[in-house]
Amino acid sequence: MELTIGQSAPILDFTDSKGQAFSLIGKKTVLYFYPKDNTPGCTAQACNLNENLDYLSSKGFQVAGVSVDSAKSHDKFITKYQLKFPLIADESHEIVEAFGVWVEKSMYGKSYMGIARTTFVFDENGIITDIITKVDTKNHTEQIH
């Protein structure tokens, strides 16, 4: 199922890598899906959001990232780059599949399943207000409205 602007989020409550509840209800939210911790593009994206977190917070946004990496991997990534927002480990693929970002990809002629880098922006009620599929990892904050 492809999600569209104006729809409700398919899953409303998550647990971050530290075991803390994270909800899409109550605050505007930037929920970004990324392929893998500690890779160049994913690091650039996380660092860009982290460097601009005060700006995003001033606009009323909370930020969280989602990948299929383990909570342990997320915790190392958070520590290494001093990220000030939570990362959600989706090892079961429940979230990435519900959001339609677990897709067939190809590299060097080989097909594999992976995350399509995508950012969903939600209002306070968990309604999608924007979907960013062409993510500029180094300037991602500028794409969020």
Query: Looking at the annotation, which residues are catalytic?
Result: 42
Helix (H, G, I), strand (E, B) or coil at 17: coil
For residue 56, the tally of other CB atoms under 10 A from its CB is 18
> Helices (DSSP H) in the chain: which residue ranges?
40-51, 53-58, 71-81, 94-98
Tell me the angle at which helices 71-81 and 40-51 cross, rounded to the nearest 10 degrees: 60
Contact 75, 35 (CB under 8 A): no
- Coil, strand, or helix at residue 97? helix
